[in-house]
A and B are shown apart, each in its own frame.
Chain A
Amino acid sequence: MLISCNKLKTHIKNSDKIDFLKIWDTFTIRCAEVESVKVVGNTFDGVIVAEIKECVEHPDSDHMHVLQMDVGKKDLVQVVCGAPNVRVGLKTALVQVGGHIDNIEITARPLRGVTSNGMCCSGKELAISDDHSGILELPQEWENGRDIKSYLPIEDIIVEIDNKSLTNRPDLWGHYGIAREIAAITNHELLPLDIEEVKNDKQDLDIKIKNSDLCYRYCGLKLENILNNKTPLDMQIFLYYVGMRSISLLVDLTNYLMLELGQPMHAFDARVVKSIEVDTAKDGDTYTTLDDTERHLTKDMLMIKNGPKYFGIAGVMGGLDSEILEDTTSVFLESATFNAGSIRKTAVALGLRTEASARYEKSLDPNMTDLALKRLLYLLRRENPDLVIASNLTDVYPHPFLEGHITLHKDTLKTYMNKDLSDEEVKRILEKLAFKVEVKKDVYEVTVPTFRHTKDVFIEQDLIEEIARLYGFENLEAKPLKLELTVKEHENVFTQEYEVKRLLATKYDMHEVHSYVWYDTNLLKELGIEKDGIKLLGKQENNILRDDLSLSLMNIVNLNLKNYNALKIFEIGSIFKNKETNRILSIIIADEEKNIETMYNEAKKIAKYIFKTLKNKDVHFQENHNTLSYYDEALSKEIILEDDVVGKIDVLKKKYTNKIAKKKAIVTIEIDFDKYVALAKKNILAQEISKYPTVNLDYTVIVNNQKYAYLTKVLDDFKSNLIINRKLMGIYENKYTLRYTLGSNNKTLEQNDLQKFKERFIEHIKNNNLDIME
């Protein structure tokens, strides 16, 4: 929202004592975030009021005129001007020779052979409006030769306040509210608004509210004999500076009131208004708003009706047939309050967010509707002294909205602020913000003005905020928390996740990635993988939540295989099934297809290593019979710990891998991290080391038509109390080399012991249809 400091000054007593350039940093930390502060109207000087005394056509141009202008001195000044509205008697703005416009100096120079001693300006050229249809037309009573800045509020400071920081402050959606804050911050006095009271000695207007839950108040007033519908220049400049187009006095005044008080208003041509009814629309009806767009209505939308016909969408936008026309001299003024949620929903549903709806959806104070009408009347009367009030100020207000009352406990205030504030200070701060305060022994009884009570201030903590912010957050000191020295750890998920991540990054040189929790649906389509699952509402793409973390990482694999030949990445992330969330560790190894055996074995080693080093537990692998369709069934393994499946190892099917990269293999490891976290770390007890030496015996077993899994079983069946350890040393074709470490706690093994072991072992191997290389 744009704020004009010139306008603010009119609402604050002794405002010349406030530095309006510097106040905004303070405003930001006291009230709401200021996005920018811009000085405007300082790009020109030497622009004066000048009157056209003579006007002749330029001898060498079909549109320019040669003017003789009265600049308040004895001699007239000759100026060449191309504007269409030049005429004798017109007072306009003239940049004199030596003056500047856009910081460029104006000099006397010939225009097609005729010397021009200066330049007449349009509003756009002076950057005080966007009107470039002709040169400015100034009031006749202005004195020739005087700087136009002495008549018009051209030099101004325009401040942009972040709308988001005002969402909770309906009272700040107009200059008057901002002025109240500035006055409070700087300890100045806010001036009351000049208004014209309405006697109410006429007829009431025919106004009905059908749905008082959605329309809290509707005020109407009929005015006649409005003959001057021209907006004064100073108001035009104000509107232009804060981002509004000047249209006509009546329309401009409704906008002006919205910008001043925050109250949206509407001026209807009184000739077409029969009776006003506020009611919801019928489903399926359509209505054309004044931007000439047909809108589809629903029964949730609140409408203003004129007789039986729709007349406007309440709080959002009016219709074409109610517009003020050039010959309008009588108006029906609307000033109403609607339900914030209803307006917001309507605006969102129609995709039509207007200045009015933006304000209404903040919960405006119903008690300013009549004030706004009286204020508008006052301002309109200034331009139309003979206007006639043609009706009562008709006020339909089914449930008047009252001030709030809050008891603020002094000890609560002290706890929150950790400061002793005097009663005077508390009272001063709150009263500056228009609260009423009654000081009692232990409490303050506070009355909340209605404009702060619609959604903002309800409980004593709300008042503490008001006091704290005006006291100044920067005046509070940092105070450390007192710590009770107890060790309390509620859970250690984060620590365990970090431990594993660090292990993978340091020991295996892997890279941690972060991905999205939904599948890349385009990639799924490209791969030809169908996925169903929990869906994001209202989205057509990337709308399926992942139930397989590794699969959802394939677009990252895809991306990186364009830059790397091989890749090792991981993520600990959530997967979503039915109503459950699970944490999963996914590790992905991608490399040349010819290295698949190494990759696959590394995957197993990594899985084992994680559990072995961080949990002191041993996992093993078994066939997975529930392989997901896009993984290779033959290579799918479950990771087993103490009879529980804690993870799996998979290889993406070749046909999918080929679509990501040719001649590659992609191996995935997944560990159920919820199970991992829940696993207690095994406590390892100290073990005696035998004082007798150990002996290593290597055997190479030939395994025909069987796998290592079979060999393991056979080896497991071979028992001997000499075995300290057994280890697979290597595989060459079908030859598996094993190393047994043998030893005894009571003696040094002798040749005889070893010989017996060897004989038994060879016999066991052969009995199980395996061969041994001797």
Chain B
Amino acid sequence: MEKELELLKENLQMELKNCTKEADCLNVKSKYVGKKSRIMELLASLKDMSVEEKRQYGSLINTTKKELENIVSEALENLENKVEVNFDDTVDYEVESGSLHPVTIIAKEVTDALKKMGFTIVSGPEMDSEYYNFEALNIPKDHPARDMQDTYYLDNDKLLRTHTSGVQVRAMEKYGAPLRICVPGRVFRNEDLDASHENTFFQLEGMVIDKNISIENLIGVMQELLREVFHKDVKVRLRPGFFPFTEPSYELDCSCLICDGKGCPTCKNSGWIELVPGGMIHPNVLKAGGIDPNVYNGFAFGLGLTRLAMMKYKINDIRVLNSGDVRYLEKFRID
């Protein structure tokens, strides 16, 4: 008898092991603990047994029945917790990702930094008039910058803006002083393409007009800005420059991040990259914008967004940026 009961348990466990579905499990259940199961037969046979036998087997049969029931319910519970579909849980797919253009990413970073310093972002037209692009900026008629070699003139008496500076006077007219704006945008120069020259690239104009603005303010803004963008202190130097619409004018160079100042083709082996031309706004430009230069002054700068992107991402050929070649651009992802 003991042997038979032991065998019942072993057989039940074996059969349950092969069950993958609840239904199979239930069939096994009825076979072993159902009304017509062997254990029930044994239970029923108890009443025909002698008192001696009852004492000997009664509790054993009852315990075994409970044990069988426990085994089945445990198996059922296990089955319930198991996902029904079998699959390869080691598979690891590549995820697809879109991408933003590196200039878009850098423009966002730069404008975010400037926003923190109280600048607002404005825009201006890519096709502009000679007035806003040149005249209003104190660039006289016979200035070399107005040459056909540098400027794309159009057959409708307009031109493709050669810089974002055209927005300076537009913004002064529209918003007046005081003013603290930045203007990211596409600009055009009639140039032959090579690794470091493009005819279409991006600049960011920055302009502050207020009372008592000094060159030191301009240096302050530049340092903060570059630190924000490069996440480290970048070596900068100012040197005199010349632009008709600023006076004094300067060129801000930063140490070349491609070669760390050692010299490479991007920085023409000088270790410095000419990054931000600018200066104090020329009184004539303020006047053109309807602002009294005796009350207000300010500074403006033109940051080369394309160049900044090239430095930040160590892009050594400017032409890829306008190529639209997704093989190259997709590497830049989103941020």
Contacts and interface: CB of A to CB of B under 8 A. Distances in A.
Contact of B127 (A481, A508, A563, A581): A581
Contacts of B118: 481, 483-484
A28 B120 CA distance: 34
Interface in B190-221: 199-200, 208, 210, 212-217, 219-221
A504 B99 CA distance: 9
A512 B270 CA distance: 33
A400 interface: no
Interface stretch (B30-38, B68-76, B154-162): B154-162
A512 B213 CA distance: 39
Contact of A563 (B101, B237, B327): B327
Interface string B85-102: 000000000001111110
B111 interface: yes
B322 interface: yes
Nearest to B181: A490
A32 B240 contact: yes
B184 A494 contact: yes
B103 to A, nearest CB: 7
B49 interface: no
B186 interface: yes
Given A490-B181, A506-B334, A545-B154, A537 B148 contact: yes
A538 B154 CA distance: 9
A501 B184 CA distance: 16
B136 interface: no
Nearest to B224: A480
Contact of B250 (A473, A488, A573): A473
A481 B212 CA distance: 10
A461 interface: yes
B216 to A, nearest CB: 4
Contacts of B247: 459, 461-462, 464-465
Given A344-B144, A480-B220, A416 B215 contact: yes
B221 A481 contact: yes
A418 B214 contact: yes
Interface string A477-517: 11111011000111111110010011011101111111111
A553 interface: yes
Contact of B241 (A165, A483, A545, A560): A165
B160 to A, nearest CB: 7
Contacts of B250: 473
Contacts of A340: 142
Contact of B242 (A167, A361, A473, A490): A167
B134 interface: no
B121 A31 contact: no
A484 B247 CA distance: 26
B290 interface: no
Given A462-B247, A506-B98, A581 B241 contact: no
A508 to B, nearest CB: 6
B152 interface: yes
A490 B180 CA distance: 10
A667 interface: no
B283 A559 contact: no
B104 interface: yes
Nearest to A510: B98
A167 B240 contact: no
Contacts of A35: 268, 270
B255 interface: no
Nearest to A339: B142
Contacts of A494: 107, 111, 121, 123, 184
B122 A469 contact: no
Contact of A167 (B144, B153, B329): B144
A517 B126 contact: yes
Given A461-B248, A579-B158, A509 B152 contact: no
A418 B122 CA distance: 29
Contacts of B323: 556, 559
A569 B178 CA distance: 40
B280 interface: yes
A642 interface: no
A514 B242 contact: no
Contacts of B321: 514
Interface string B149-180: 00011111010100000000001001100101
Nearest to B321: A514
A468 B215 contact: yes
Contacts of B147: 348
A535 B127 CA distance: 12
B326 interface: yes
Nearest to B237: A29
A738 to B, nearest CB: 31
Contact of B175 (A31, A416, A468, A490): A490
Interface string A681-720: 0000000000000000000000000000000000000000
A476 B219 contact: yes
Contacts of B152: 536-537, 539
A416 to B, nearest CB: 6
B239 to A, nearest CB: 4
A332 B242 CA distance: 38
Nearest to B281: A461
Interface in A154-173: 165, 167-169
B215 to A, nearest CB: 6
B120 A490 contact: yes
Nearest to B330: A511
Dominant secondary structure of chain A at its interface with chain B: mixed
Given A563-B326, A569-B326, A535 B154 contact: yes
Interface in A548-591: 553, 555-556, 559-560, 563-564, 567-569, 573-574, 576, 578-579, 581
A539 B153 CA distance: 10
B122 A491 contact: yes
A303 B22 CA distance: 108
A509 B333 CA distance: 10
B216 A478 contact: yes
B297 interface: yes
A563 to B, nearest CB: 6
A417 interface: yes
Contacts of A165: 240-242, 251
A375 interface: no
A513 B329 contact: yes
B219 A534 contact: no
Interface in B239-267: 239-242, 247-251
B98 A511 contact: yes
Nearest to A466: B248
B6 interface: no
A204 interface: no
Contacts of B199: 516
A110 interface: no
B212 A415 contact: yes
A167 B147 CA distance: 15
A481 to B, nearest CB: 5
Nearest to A473: B238
B324 A553 contact: yes
B155 A514 contact: no
A478 B226 CA distance: 13
A149 B178 CA distance: 64
A514 B101 contact: yes
Contacts of A574: 125-127, 186
Given A505-B99, A537-B154, A563-B327, A479 B219 contact: yes
Interface of A: 28-33, 35, 165, 167-169, 340-341, 344-345, 348, 361, 415-418, 459, 461-462, 464-465, 468-469, 473-474, 476-481, 483-484, 488-495, 498, 501-502, 504-506, 508-517, 534-539, 545, 553, 555-556, 559-560, 563-564, 567-569, 573-574, 576, 578-579, 581
13 contacts: A31-B240, A35-B270, A465-B249, A473-B250, A479-B216, A483-B118, A484-B118, A484-B178, A504-B98, A506-B98, A536-B152, A536-B153, A569-B326
Given A29-B239, A481-B180, A514-B322, 11 more contacts: A165-B241, A165-B242, A461-B247, A478-B222, A480-B217, A481-B213, A502-B100, A513-B326, A514-B321, A517-B188, A576-B127
